[in-house]
Structure 1
Amino acid sequence: MMRQYELVDRVRRYNPHADEELLDRAYVYAMKAHGVQKRASGDPYFSHPLEVAAILTELKLDDATIVAAVLHDTIEDTDSTQEEIDKLFGPEIGRLVEGLTKLKRLDLVSKRAVQAENFRKLLLAIADDVRVLLVKLADRLHNMRTLHFVPPEKRERIAQETLDIYAPLAGRMGMQSMRNELEDLAFRHLMPDASASIGKRLNDLKRKNGKIIAKVEQELSDLLSAQGIEASVEGRQKQPYSVWRKMERKSVAFEQLSDIFGFRVYVNTVEECYRAVGVIHTKWPAVPGRFKDYISTPKENDYRSIHTTVVGPGRQRVELQVRTHDMHEIARYGIAAHALYKDGGVDDREVLAHESRAYQWLQRTIDMLAEGDSPEEFLEHTKLELFHDQVFCFTPKGQIIALPRGATPIDFAYAVHTKIGNSCVGAKINGRAAPLAAPLVNGDEVEIIRAEGQVPPPVWESLVMTGKARAAIRRATRDAVRAQYTGLGRQIVVRAFERAGKPFAEDKLKAALPRLARASIDDVLAAVGRGEIFSGDVVKAVYPDFSEERKLGPQPPLPPPSESGWFGLPKGSSLVFKFPESGENKTGPIPIYGLRGDLPVRFAPNGGAVPGDRIVAILTPGEHITIYPIQSPDLTAFDDQPERWLDVRWDLDAGKRNLFPARILVTAINEPGTLGIIATALGDMGANIDTISFNAISPDFREIIIDVEVPDLKHLNGLITELRTKPVVSKVERVNG
């Protein structure tokens, strides 16, 4: 355990004017307060706050922060009080200890709602003084270093929390060294086998390439020195967790990684950074697309450096980072490297906000707390911010909305409110109409155009970047589909009760729910709509004495589509009939380029093809040519016969109306009048019906396969959309045989 004089010596190494008396008082007070308390390792509990303070001395923080670290567990774990800390050590240290006490009471790995609310409290606790976060991160780092003493079930929870919350927070504050160690310690406990395997391979690689690394370091140093640039060069190796994450993200093997080793070049001035890059690029060719200038455009966490990759000695790719010594301090220690934390001037928040982009991000996030919705949504949103670069956009009223880079107006709408996202039909960016898929950039003012009753299409899920938007779209889609099935099921059930001569009443159906093994009336109706429950079984559940005779014998023929009526077919049976041909000229030439004129032309027998489809032709030598849409699964039968494939395309005459074959599959309610509704809809849309076949898939539903003739793909899609609006229709899709 660290001695009293050792703590003072650590602080005085970087701060000769440290308040020795204050540090001594804090040491003695905390030691007495914790008394005989023990940690899980068996060590005196007082050793923990001392180690936290030691970590903070490596960051060269001010006296007040070091003292707060020594005292950070006294209020929570001993008889000490806030008033006593304020009296003995002053209000500044008292506020820091109070903030740390609040954080210790949080349980970020509890149930989601509690976790979200606690994360909100965490950010509020560090709003007044970011030094609270620095002590908390050091506290977590020491706990992770001793995590092997904790029971296994608790160990996994703490490691996951570290990977989800604290390591990204350290990265957002620019504290890359601490982030790397937190990630690797968590990785070691969460995936011990993967961690050990990657660690062993990294060590083997280091032993194998040690001489090459030393050679590159020397060549770089000599090269820059010859040009009058005072520089130091350091080889570096990726951390195990960083290697594993890249392997997972890019789906590559360890051997395929080219940037496990890299080099850092440290110089004195910004000008020398650019000079050094010029010298290096003159000596070795640069790899195109691998140059990034984070000096002129720093990262959100204050990181500044120039990254480049060259083809170096031995034709090996060499990754280089060129930065000043001051930039390296920021890269290692982040917000803790700012002078305000060294000189005791931490009350000058305006200076810190001006100096640090990381501090600006933290303040913006905290400012958004009052504008958020539920704690869960805030947690999801903030977690995204921890992992992605941000863009900041505005509502027309000036509210700031922060989103991941690449987010769209749809993300923006859901970030404002889920109801706004669900009802979104369009957007204006900076006063001009814009596509909903347009990526947003910093400073955009976004106005969402809404329409009540709008349901977000499922395709939106592939356009959005935020988890909140994806979850809301999936939920709205599920609700819309369920509402459709519920409405369809209600229609089927009501008519089933009418056919049985029984009154339909929801209260009676509710009483019968246990017999139907469903929790609610809507669950029953949705199940009927999906075909999972037969409507007659619902009637029987409400009226147990009811008995329905189901006809299983041959059924009478179907009437023509102009007459109303559709008689049920027994399960597994089918019926096909063909309508008279229309007056269209089917014997004229087919308008397709690329055909051979000596053979007759046909369309795909299981679905046809229409203008608007991408098409190919298959030659049957000596017999005919068949036109298929490119998406037809039947084409797989010809994969090993490339000599039969012909390149063709449509050759349409705008002045002539030709009809082309297509097939659609309709799943509809099995009741009189259904066929009439469908046939009338097809006729109203100008489609010519060629043949219809029926399959009985359940007592309540029939599949209708309809071969139609339409002028083009647009007309066919409109026809399908129109059929989907009919209350007797459950599903419509095109068939590509």
Structure 2
Amino acid sequence: MNEAASVEAPTRQSPRRLMRQYELVERVLSYDPDADEDLLNRAYVYAMKAHGDQKRASGDPYFSHPLEVAAILTELKLDDATIATALLHDVVEDTDATLEEIHRLFGEEIAALVEGLTKIRRLDLISREAAQAENLRRFLVAVSKDVRVLLVKLADRLHNMRTLGFMPEHKRQRIAEETMDIYAPLAGRMGLQSIREELEDLAFQVLNPHAYTMIRERLKELAAESGEVLEEIRGEICKVLAAKGLKEAEVTGRQKKPYSIWRKMQLKRLSLSQVTDIFGFRIIVDEVDQCYLALGAVHQAWRIVPGRFKDYISLPKLNGYQSIHTTVRGPGGRPVELQIRTHAMHEVAERGVAAHGLYKDARSQEESEAGVTVPKPVAEAYKWLRGLVEQLEEGQTPRDFLEHTRLELFTDQVFCFTPKGDLIVLPRGATAIDFAYAVHTDVGHAAVGCRINGHHAPLITQLNNGDEVEIITSSVQKVPPAAWENIAVTGKAKAAIRRANRLATRAEYIELGEEILERRLKGLGLSAERPALAKAFPKLGIMDVEDGLEALGRGDLSVREVLEALGVDEARAEENEQPPARRATDAKGRLLRREAILLPKGLRRLPLRISDHTGAVPGERIVGIREEDAIIVHPIFSRALEAHEDAENWIDLRWNMAEVEGMLFPARIRVTVHNEVGALAEVASIISGQGANIENLDMSYRSSDFYDFDIMVEVRDVTHLNEILFGLRHSRFVSEAERFSG
């Protein structure tokens, strides 16, 4: 039996009595006396008639759903246009109504909002990763045009989650997963904390029902046991504040939500009995100065718990949240968690972006620099959303964008500073590498070191709140080490590193392809200009010259194929003629001939040694690691480089293609063969048939069915190596053949 099926699904019954038309209007007028009553009345009647006799899975009239969505939005005190949109948000999708009719009856503004919601409803945000990423792109672009689209969608999702128990089991799981992955974090990012908490709890109830039930029962027990204690603590806090002149301070107790407790248990690996701050208290005052006065009062009265103090008034969260968090050993030595804020801050904490008055006057909209229409004033939470949309315009791949968005949605922040005092906000666990890329992509690419709070530190150092970070750059470094991608935390840094290395690798393959083709043509007494190549490569199914040269450099195309496409008749006869090969290393197979590598000035006297572990061949991007007696040459994908993450130890090396012709270089490959008679003989035959030498062969694994061999072969370049791998993969004896990375 499915785990979720054995526990009662979350159900908050749909209302048996529909909210009357005048009741909804009165709700809106209670906080917005200037609201358009006629608009609200017309939207109510139109939606009710359009949905007619439609029913929900619960059996309630379908119109109860948009009406409840509108009611949720009145709690956020949203404008009349948003409430009308909530009433109309399903009519185009579920009835005979059209957008043209909505535009004619309710105007351009509401028609645009309804259209945005209709598009979002058609998205499936839980699907295969690439499709999910593209859907998330479209979702955020639609929202960025008017954030009210998101607010209506969140209210829509909240009511659907409240009535989720009426849905089939498989749909409950999918909707709950989507809520936890996308909608709850988005609500949090927009500062809608109460909606986020309820969405998380409702989703948690479906996704992990046993844990939810366990925590809920424990909370009931604690509430019964601690009722008098909580009132006693609240009274003591009031006395302490009154002694400092804060008699009007509002002090309330609160109980954490089950999912919040579960998340803390998972994060800190605690049992339920070890979670001590299940209950907390909130102190709300009138002025900012009173927040710090209250803080001083409680810190004087009780000892603080180290490491549990955060000042989000001085450094607000990205969603605009402001409050002071502290934990003290309160009456009886009990840990007491406190939040201290003003009434205005509390309004923002509860209503988030909806508390900023972004929607009260549609006429105040203006064009932003990104060309996105946003109302004034723009809240910090909305700036974050716009920042995501701007990244879409930078051409990130869907996978990169999804990765970055997930990181942005789910992580807490650390606040760091540049030497000039500029604030850089990063996810918790971010390193100086992430900081460098947050400053500017070019700074990240050129970073070779850093100073944290005035002291030299590795770029892989994790940053803490308040750190001042100075990035040290070098004009020599143009491409960041590929290993940084596994160290960086932010999606922006990871994507930039991946993109830079991809472009650098492509450029090297293009250059190698050019040199291979040029050498071959020169040996035939011929040459080929770009126009000739532009006509030749399409014959091979490649429309771009650089794509063709890259394929040649990678070994995906052979020189013979290119020559035939160029119309060189004698290519086939000449192709098999190879000059006598000589080893690129010394007699012991260790020291590399100096002419094979282009070394930076100042390092040319140091001996060169190819990595014994992986080998290295022309056409592969290579990196040098300086050791005491030599420079060790590694291919960029070598896992051995993970032990040398600091860029100060890396030396950017390049093959000297003009000198490596006719040399043989070592490369380790791993071959998995079937345990059959003649398998190893065929592997050796394929390698020798390609004109390569086997320098060493080791069996690394053996089972009854397969053998794994690590073979060090001597080849001319990466094209030669790829031809060997291609031949091995097409043998019936060979299961896998790959370049060995360590």
After TM superposition, the score normalised by the length of structure 1 is: 0.61
- 1:38-77 to structure 2, matched below 5 A, reads 38-77=55-94
Q: Is 1:407 the counterpart of 2:430 in the alignment? A: yes
Tell me which structure has the larger Cα radius of gyration.
1
- 2-structure distance, mates of 1:269, 1:565: 79
Q: 1:227–1:468: structure 2 CA closer, same or farther, 3 Å change rule? A: closer
Query: Counterpart of 1:280?
Result: 298
Query: Counterpart of 1:214?
Result: 231
Does the 8 A contact of 1:669 with 1:730 survive in 2? no
- 1-structure distance, mates of 2:386, 2:443: 26
User: What letter corresponds to residue 305 of structure 2 in structure 1?
Assistant: V
Does the 8 A contact of 2:365 with 2:376 survive in 1? no
What's the CA shift string for 1:133-186, capped at 9, x where partnerless?
Answer: 110110110111111111111111111111111100000001110000000000
User: What letter corresponds to residue 670 of structure 2 in structure 1?
Assistant: R
- 1-structure distance, mates of 2:672, 2:384: 52
Shift of 1:51: 0.5
Does the 8 A contact of 2:698 with 2:710 survive in 1? no
- Aligned residue for 1:235, secondary structure, equals strand
Of the three residues 375, 382, 385, the one matched with 2:408 is 385
Does the 8 A contact of 2:669 with 2:710 survive in 1? no
Q: 1:542–1:312: structure 2 CA closer, same or farther, 3 Å change rule? A: closer
- Aligned residue for 2:303, secondary structure, equals coil
- 1:704-719 to structure 2, matched below 5 A, reads none
- 1-structure distance, mates of 2:442, 2:338: 48
- 1-structure distance, mates of 2:318, 2:699: 67
Does the 8 A contact of 2:51 with 2:91 survive in 1? yes
Q: Is 1:437 the counterpart of 2:460 in the alignment? A: yes
Q: Is 1:20 the counterpart of 2:20 in the alignment? A: no
- 2-structure distance, mates of 1:287, 1:11: 44
Shift of 1:288: 3.2
Q: 1:361–1:420: structure 2 CA closer, same or farther, 3 Å change rule? A: closer
What's the CA shift string for 1:384-432, capped at 9, x where partnerless?
Answer: 11123568999xxxxx9996355346558999999999x98947899x9
- 2-structure distance, mates of 1:417, 1:537: 54
Of the three residues 316, 319, 323, the one matched with 2:334 is 316
Q: 1:119–1:461: structure 2 CA closer, same or farther, 3 Å change rule? A: closer
Q: 1:175–1:107: structure 2 CA closer, same or farther, 3 Å change rule? A: same
Of the three residues 79, 82, 88, the one matched with 2:99 is 82
Shift of 1:291: 2.2
User: What letter corresponds to residue 464 of structure 1 in structure 2?
Assistant: A
Query: Counterpart of 1:184?
Result: 201
- Aligned residue for 1:532, secondary structure, equals strand
- 1-structure distance, mates of 2:140, 2:201: 24
- 1:517-536 to structure 2, matched below 5 A, reads 529-533=669-673, 536=678
- 1:156-167 to structure 2, matched below 5 A, reads 156-167=173-184
What's the CA shift string for 1:640-687, capped at 9, x where partnerless?
Answer: xxxxxxxxxxxxxxxxxxxxxxxxxxx975999xxxxxxxxxxxxxxx
After TM superposition, the score normalised by the length of structure 2 is: 0.61
- 2-structure distance, mates of 1:166, 1:145: 14
Query: Counterpart of 1:246?
Result: 264
- 1:564-713 to structure 2, matched below 5 A, reads none
Q: 1:227–1:69: structure 2 CA closer, same or farther, 3 Å change rule? A: same
- 2-structure distance, mates of 1:176, 1:668: 56
Does the 8 A contact of 1:409 with 1:448 survive in 2? no
- 1-structure distance, mates of 2:481, 2:359: 52
Of the three residues 141, 144, 153, the one matched with 2:158 is 141
User: What letter corresponds to residue 532 of structure 1 in structure 2?
Assistant: T
- Aligned residue for 1:371, secondary structure, equals coil
Shift of 1:251: 0.6
Higher alpha-carbon deviation: 410-419 or 45-54: 410-419
User: What letter corresponds to residue 291 of structure 2 in structure 1?
Assistant: C
- 1-structure distance, mates of 2:87, 2:345: 30
- Aligned residue for 2:336, secondary structure, equals strand
Q: 1:444–1:167: structure 2 CA closer, same or farther, 3 Å change rule? A: farther
Q: 1:148–1:280: structure 2 CA closer, same or farther, 3 Å change rule? A: same
Does the 8 A contact of 2:28 with 2:77 survive in 1? yes
- 1-structure distance, mates of 2:128, 2:134: 10
Query: Counterpart of 2:371?
Result: none
Structure 2 gap ranges (5+): 1-17, 369-373, 418-422, 506-554, 556-575, 577-666, 687-692, 702-708, 715-732, 734-738
- 1-structure distance, mates of 2:698, 2:250: 86
- Aligned residue for 2:348, secondary structure, equals helix
Does the 8 A contact of 1:232 with 1:265 survive in 2? yes
Q: Is 1:228 the counterpart of 2:245 in the alignment? A: yes
Does the 8 A contact of 2:304 with 2:327 survive in 1? yes
Does the 8 A contact of 2:699 with 2:710 survive in 1? no
Q: 1:276–1:344: structure 2 CA closer, same or farther, 3 Å change rule? A: farther
Of the three residues 331, 334, 348, the one matched with 1:330 is 348
Query: RMSD of the TM alignment (CA)?
Result: 4.8
- 1-structure distance, mates of 2:496, 2:293: 51
Higher alpha-carbon deviation: 198-207 or 385-394: 385-394
- 1-structure distance, mates of 2:698, 2:73: 80
Does the 8 A contact of 1:48 with 1:142 survive in 2? yes
Shift of 1:290: 2.5
User: What letter corresponds to residue 64 of structure 2 in structure 1?
Assistant: S
Query: Counterpart of 1:376?
Result: 399
Shift of 1:433: 11
Query: Counterpart of 1:537?
Result: 679
Identical amino acids, percent of aligned pairs: 56
- Aligned residue for 1:308, secondary structure, equals strand
Structure 1 gap ranges (5+): 395-399, 481-489, 491-504, 506-526, 545-563, 573-666, 673-699, 701-728, 733-737
- 2-structure distance, mates of 1:325, 1:438: 39
- 2-structure distance, mates of 1:213, 1:4: 42
Shift of 1:71: 0.4
Query: Counterpart of 2:482?
Result: 456
Query: Counterpart of 2:138?
Result: 121
- 2-structure distance, mates of 1:279, 1:448: 50
Q: 1:304–1:84: structure 2 CA closer, same or farther, 3 Å change rule? A: same
- 2-structure distance, mates of 1:220, 1:374: 53
Does the 8 A contact of 1:391 with 1:405 survive in 2? yes
Does the 8 A contact of 1:428 with 1:448 survive in 2? no
What's the CA shift string for 1:218-265, capped at 9, x where partnerless?
Answer: 222233234331111111111100100110111111111121111001
Query: Counterpart of 2:22?
Result: 5
Does the 8 A contact of 1:353 with 1:360 survive in 2? no
Does the 8 A contact of 1:291 with 1:308 survive in 2? yes
Does the 8 A contact of 1:290 with 1:307 survive in 2? yes
Q: Is 1:292 the counterpart of 2:310 in the alignment? A: yes
